[in-house]
Each structure stands twice: as C-alpha cells, then as structure tokens.
Structure 1
Amino acid sequence: MKMRLEVLLVVTAVMCAAGKPLSKAAARNKLLLISFDGFRWDYDQDVDTPNLDQLAVDGVKAKYITPPMLTMTSPSHFTTITGRWVEDHEVVHNMMFNTSTNLKLPHKLTLTKSQWWDNGVLPLWITAQNQGLKTASFYFPGGAANYSGQVVNRVMVEPFNHPNANETEWRQNIDMVMRWFSEEDFHLVTLYYGEPDNVGHTKGPDHPDRKTIIQQIDRTIGYLRKAIDQHNLADSLNVIISSDHGMTTIKKRPLVDEIILNKYLNLLKLASFEILDYGGFGILTPQPGKEQEVFDALSNAPNLTVYKKNEIPESFHLAKSERLPPIVVVGDLGFNLNSRFIVYVNKGDHGFHNGEMDMKTIFRAFGPDFRRNFLSEPFDSIHIYPLMCKLLQIEPAPHNGSLTVTEEMLQLHSGGSQRAPVSVALPLLMLLTFSAL
C-alpha cells in the first residue's frame, strides 16, 4: 500500500508539471538589458577582450544581429524595447521633428518628450509593470516618456552634455543597478552606455581610440560579473548585452566627391521640410505638387538611393509610417548626405542600409535561463522583445518578433535536449503505477 501511494504521488507531480510550462513552475528570474551604443558586430575581433570572450563560453553569443531600418539610436532602441517595426512605433528618427512647424530637436532633447515616443505602442517596461513587475530605465532611450499616463517606476535621464566615456561612472552605474535588483527587488532594468558610438563618430571605427574604448567596455563587463556575484544575483539575474547599430568610415574629399543634394535640385524652391545633413539617412517633404520633380532630380544624384515613401521596400518596414515624410534618401555605405553645402564633420556614422555588414551589431547573453557555450545564428533585433518577455514570464504586448528565433538559447527551450519530454515520462510512470497496483 505504501509503495502504491508513493508511485501515485510521483505520477500526480508529473501530471501537474505537464499541465503548465516548467518556466512557470520555477521562480521568476530578473533581467538586465545593457546597450552599448554603436557597438559594431566585429569590434571585439581586433582587440583583446577576455571578458567578452568568457561570455561566449558561459552564455550565448550571436554571430551578429541586424538592426531595423532605421539604423539610428532612437528608432533601433525603441524597436528592441517594443518588438515593433519602426513604421508601427513611429519613432522614425533620432531627431524629434514637425514638418508643419519645421521643429527639429536633437536626440538628447527628445528623451523626455512624450509626444515623440507615445504613439500607442507599449514598451516592455509598461507591459511588465501592468503585470505586477517593478522596472527601471537608466539612460535608455524611451524610458523617460509618459505612455498614456503610465510611467516607468524609476528613470534616470541622460543629461544633454553627459560625458560618454567615464569608466568610474560606468562602474558606479552598475553598482546602483545591482542595488536596485538586490535591495529593492526590481525585475527589469535597462542600462544604456553612449560608447563606442561617440568615439566611432568623432574618430572613426578604424581609429586606435575605438580599440581603447572596446577594452574599457570589456573591463566594465568584467566588473559587472563581479558585482553580480557580490550581490548574490548569479542564480537569479539574466543579462542581455546588445546595441542599436554599427558604424562605418565616412568617405570624404579628396578621395571621393561628397554628396551635396542642392547640386541636383533647388531645395529652397522645391522642399518645405528636410533633414538631410545627418549621416546616411535623409527625409524630405516636397512643396505641393513637386514630389515627382524632387524624386526625379534626386534619382540623378550619385551614391544614394531615393524612395517615395509608399514605394519603400517592404523589408524596410517604413512605408506604413504616418510620421515619415514622402521622400526618403539613403546614402550608399560611407556616403553621408549634405543638403546645401558640406557641414559634416564626423569621421564615422550609421543610418545606412541595415543589410550592410558595417551596420550589424552584437548580442551576448548569460544567466540562469541561458545555455552555456551556445553560438546563435544571426537574427533581427526585433526578436529580442519576445525573448525578454519569456525570461520575465509575462504576456507580451502585440509585437512583430517571434520567440521561435531565440528560444533555442534557453535552458528549457521546447526542442532542447536538456529537458526530458513529459509525453514520454508520463505513460511510463502510469504503466509502473498500474503494475504496482
């Protein structure tokens, strides 16, 4: 009789486990998402990076990830945190603009402008909070906005003239975030660093200073891992490290003829709004009735491609945007756009086609829910969102990503060899039960 009872208890336990996902049965782990702005996919290949190398052994590394079109900071970060294409979330540029008033605000001045970010799509912070979790944004784009009356539980906003490369401050930020997790029970924190984007712009991706900042990032990752251990978070904190776009060297005179769009059309006469002096991506509103004339003129300009918005390739996921102006211009890789004369000083930039390898970026992940020593095939950054929802055990908001792209990274993924199929175990135990009876 005792043997029957014990076997029945085992069967009951297995049947209960079969009734709900094992991830739900386990304790909910926390999640830290870190973005290093402008970290191109291959930046660690010509630098000694022992901590990044160790992450590939202790966790997951993707060969690279593809950012959305646009390959810019605000649009790309908001795609990561919402899982929506740019045409859906409508953060269509780094600059906040208004084509009627000709308003143009630089990236850092948009960070608290809710009217730029709140377009009906909920970011992960708000979705998680609505399901009882506690979240924070540390300098992460979009984190400081108000979403139809809802705000992120805790927000740190990056100051306008904030220095990007202060390694001491980087460590202090990690210490603060670790306290949020360990002492205040936050479930999700997003942490943003402005490098190596800044050095990529000012010095170029091939400059020795870029290698120096990658080594600093590597030391910071080493510091992060020690801080995780010191705060006893190793068994409860998952970490994803990624970026928003890559970086390429800008082609300049005397090696090439730089693009000056006013050579090919009279912008003052034909355009009512423009953002053209901005790396590899430009937007333009023609005067009424002048769209075809503008399109034809720009089609004759070298080293760029011009699109009517309604004819943009579907793979760009931009054509449905209501906010984007009627004409979109994309420079060939390395050819920045100048409107009336050359004002561009950056040595490196982004904003180019997301299919270019120089625009690809990194992905690393480690923690209790991730497999070890796992190399992932490349994937689009939009798929990070459902992965984060899975890790946080929350129901995602509507999104364009797919968990099937990333679930193989997880310890308990549905097709993995690390979990015995309940469908096999259950009949066997039932057979044992009846035999015992």
Structure 2
Amino acid sequence: MLVFLGLVVALLDLGACAPLQETGNRNKLLLVSFDGFRWNYDQDVDTPNLDAMARDGVKAKYMTPPFVTQTSPCHFTLLTGKYIENHGVIHNMWFNSNTGQKLPYYNTQGVSAWWDNGSLPIWITAQRQGLKTASFFFPGGNATYQGEEVNVKRVEKLFHSYSNETEWRQNIDTVMKWFTEDNLDFVALYFGEPDSTGHKHGPESQQRKDMVRQVDRTVGYLRQRIEENSLNSTLNLIITSDHGMVTVIKENEIHLKNVANFSFRDIKFELVDYGPHGLLEPKPGKLEQVYEALKVGHTNLHVYKKEDMPKRFHYSNNSRISPLVLYGDPGYVIHGRYKVQFNKGEHGFDNLAMDMQTIFRAVGPAFKRGLEVEPFESVNVYALLCDLLGITPEPHDGSLTDMQYMLVKNAGIDRFSSPATGKLAMMLGFTAFLRLVTGIPCTMVP
C-alpha cells in the first residue's frame, strides 16, 4: 500500500487522466456568456435569478480573465484553455502589419485564418470524439478549424442589436430545441450585453443597472425553459463572461500625438484608438527612439518591448504581437492620431484590476449546491468543460485541479485537500481514479 501511495504522489505532477463517460450516460452542457458582466454587477442591482442559481449550484467570488481583456481573445481562452499568446487571437481586430489593413470586430469573426492558428476550440475537439455541438453568436463560431466547423451555428448580422430581450428569449427557445429535438451535446450561447450598455453609458450608470436586471430576467427564463423541457437532470449550465468594465477618466486621457519626442512618422504600423490597449511597430531603426519617448510619455501609460512584458500577462510569445505593447492604467484610454473613442466605459486593462474581473455561475447534475468558491483564472474553464462532456482535452494551459472541487463526484474533497489519495481523486475524478487503481490506461493531459 505504501508503494502504491508513493506512486500516487508521484503521478500528481504528471497531469490528470482525461475523463471518459459512456455515451448513453453523458450529460449535456450549455455555456452562456453575457459579455462585459463585471464581477460585482449583482451587488447594486436586485438579481433574484442569479442569486437562486448560486443557491442551487456554484458561484465563484469572481473569475480572472486573461490579458488582453478584450472580447474575442478572452472568449477564445474559454474555448481552448490557452493563454492569449498561445492561442493567437491577440486582438478583437484582424490586421496586417505589412499593409496596414485592419478589420473591425464583426468582419474579423469571419476570417478563419485569424482563429485557426493551431488551437482547436472545444466544439471541434468534441465533434471529433463523437459529440454534436453548436454556437449561437459565440465569438469564434463563424470560423473553420483545420477544415472543420461547428455542427450548428447562428451568426449575427452586421449592426445586430444585442439588447432585444424578446430576441434573447427566442434564442433560448432555439437552443432548447437543439438539445431536445436535435440531441446536441454542447452549445455555446453569447449575449452582447451588458457590454454594449457599459461602453455607451458607463458601468455605474442607471442604464447598465437596468440591463443587468434584463440579464437576470433572462437567466430566470433560461432556467424555466430548462425545467419545462425536462432537462434539469441531464443539462449542466454555466453562466460566465469575458471581462469586466471600467469608467473612462475623461479628464486625463492619453494622447500619443502629444508625447514629446514621439512622432507617427517613426511608426510602420499602429493599432491604437481601441480603448486602453495599443500595438505599435516602429520603422526599422526607430524602435529604441520610440520606446524611450513613450515610456516616459504619460504617468498612466505602460509601455513594454514585447519580450519584456511581465510574464504573468502571457502576452509576448507570439509573432502577431507587435514589438511594442501599450496599455493604460484602469480608466485611462489611449488615443493615436485622432480622438475617435468616446465610450464612457472600457475594458482591455490589466487583467488583475478588480474592475476587469467577471462572473462564474454553474448549476446542474454535476455541480454541488450552495457552494461559493475562491477566484480562479478563466483559462481553467476549458478543462472543466471537457470533464463535464467526458472528452479528452487538447493540450492547454489550464488546470482541472482548481475546478474539480465544484463537482458532485468529488463530494467531501475541498480545494485544499492534503492527503495524497484525496488530492488525486480531486484531480482525476472518481472514474479516472478507479482506472488508475485497476491499471486501465488513460490519456494524460498537461
């Protein structure tokens, strides 16, 4: 027995066995993202349905997104379990630094080469293992990956209004049909609010509070429809978001054109005017001059050569990232040649800033009830999704360890379990633990 326990302890550092489920016993999974839902938006608004979901399931104190805290990069981290430098969707906008061409958010959704950069989203991984999946407006859902696309998808039209509550309910009804009539296994459903309202009116505005109430009503409608379709015992529901929102400080915005000793004549390519985050590629021989000027250009501006970016950002080791990376302190946006950004709320700041933190709620047959958990990084969500679906993950940067303690199958094991067997069971899950004990092989993942 001591020899076995020694082997168990040694295996802890190797990873976790990929979960496997019998197809007939597999639960379904719905991942819902409400864009720009800051971690504390439920504290100044009455949210009875989100509160009920927390009582019936799991609530995180908050969830930390990756840097850079933008919509497409953060959502692709949820779908791949990779930091942004590793999955390569480094910005909301596709760009070509050689020609200067840039595409806005909506058009970038259809550029498969931007998304298909060596990382597979969970849709494709699940489909290759026999599951049926769908994307409803979810970022990344309009691309193909290694020649494959999600089984079922809905793509919003250009200039789509994300705030129509009637349409939200219709979309939910469609998703319910996908689960009950088309027998889909996994659906990712996206709502563009309260992000749009937070941008336009600011995160402290009455309009944002009203939109959070609309989100909460929608959560209530969603759970009602799950019950009416007899899915309570077979569907796991996760509600989360990509990032938070910060009030823009208008009195002291950062204007690059006003920085002493800096000139756009020294720049080959720029991607600024998009909130607090900027990418610059100086002309040959101008890197040091531009860097030295900008690094002292504004008290609230942070400027790094990409190789010197703090390691915690995981935002340097990718050829798409420009030689210089800029970001403002919370509330400080960057303007380039002209002021074109007039939002009252913004995101894209340091991912550790509290106003960038977001929400995580989960309920369903796999989840414990009435459990509030400590904060974790969103890069870990992918491992949880794969575990819930019973599929083998692709290599990723997250960890199932920080998520397993939410699950019923790990009842009695909390996040801080210290005995070797308990810790192993927390990491592997009961089924995989038995496989290890009995000698049945399983696939190891990072």
Query: So what's the TM-score if we normalise by structure 2?
Result: 0.87
Preserved CA contact (<8 Å) 1:407 1:414: no
Query: 1:24 Cα shift?
Result: 5.3
| d(CA) in 1 for partners of 2:24, 2:129 | 17
Gaps of 5+ in 1: 1-19, 426-437
Q: Which amino acid aligns with 2:290?
A: V
Aligned to 1:91: 89
Q: Deviations 1:338-387 (Å, cap 9, x if unpaired)? A: 01233221000000000100000000000000000010100000000000
Q: Deviations 1:9-42 (Å, cap 9, x if unpaired)? A: xxxxxxxxxxx97965981100000000000000
Aligned to 2:264: 268
Q: Which amino acid aligns with 1:258?
A: E
Query: 1:267 Cα shift?
Result: 3.5
Q: Deviations 1:174-222 (Å, cap 9, x if unpaired)? A: 0000000011110000000000000000000011000000000000010
Matched, 1:279 2:275: yes
Matched, 1:299 2:295: yes
Aligned to 2:306: 309
| d(CA) in 2 for partners of 1:24, 1:134 | 15
Aligned pair partner of 2:104 in 103, 106, 125: 106
Structure 1 186/26 Cα, relative in aligned 2: closer, same or farther at 3 Å?
closer
Q: Deviations 1:61-98 (Å, cap 9, x if unpaired)? A: 00000000010000000000000111111100001111
Matched, 1:390 2:390: no
Moved more, 61-70 or 335-344: 335-344
Structure 1 82/368 Cα, relative in aligned 2: closer, same or farther at 3 Å?
same
Matches within 5 A, 1:201-350: 201-252=199-250, 256-264=251-259, 265-302=261-298, 303-350=300-347
Preserved CA contact (<8 Å) 2:248 2:345: yes
Query: 1:54 Cα shift?
Result: 0.4
Structure 1 22/91 Cα, relative in aligned 2: closer, same or farther at 3 Å?
closer
Aligned to 1:370: 367
Aligned to 1:8: none
Matched, 1:353 2:350: yes
Query: 1:164 Cα shift?
Result: 1.1
What is the RMSD of the two structures over their aligned residues, measured on CA atoms? Answer: 2.0
| d(CA) in 2 for partners of 1:97, 1:241 | 31
Preserved CA contact (<8 Å) 2:252 2:332: no
Give the aligned length.
401
| d(CA) in 2 for partners of 1:22, 1:126 | 17
Preserved CA contact (<8 Å) 2:19 2:391: no
Preserved CA contact (<8 Å) 2:64 2:351: yes
Query: 1:415 Cα shift?
Result: 5.6
Matched, 1:143 2:141: yes
Matched, 1:403 2:400: yes
Q: Which amino acid aligns with 2:271?
A: I
Structure 1 46/108 Cα, relative in aligned 2: closer, same or farther at 3 Å?
same
| d(CA) in 2 for partners of 1:56, 1:410 | 14
In structure 1, the residue corresponding to 2:163 is in which secondary structure? coil
Aligned to 2:129: 131
Query: 1:413 Cα shift?
Result: 2.0
Aligned to 1:182: 180
| d(CA) in 1 for partners of 2:40, 2:21 | 34
In structure 2, the residue corresponding to 1:96 is in which secondary structure? coil
Structure 1 185/42 Cα, relative in aligned 2: closer, same or farther at 3 Å?
same
Q: Which amino acid aligns with 1:335?
A: Y
Q: Which amino acid aligns with 1:287?
A: K
| d(CA) in 2 for partners of 1:341, 1:301 | 17
**Bigger Rg, structure 1 or 2:** 1
Identity %: 53
Aligned to 2:437: none
| d(CA) in 2 for partners of 1:196, 1:105 | 24
Query: 1:416 Cα shift?
Result: 3.0
Preserved CA contact (<8 Å) 1:111 1:157: no
Preserved CA contact (<8 Å) 1:203 1:210: yes
Query: 1:147 Cα shift?
Result: 0.6
Gaps of 5+ in 2: 1-17, 415-421, 435-446
Q: Which amino acid aligns with 2:364?
A: G
Preserved CA contact (<8 Å) 1:138 1:157: yes
Query: So what's the TM-score if we normalise by structure 1?
Result: 0.89
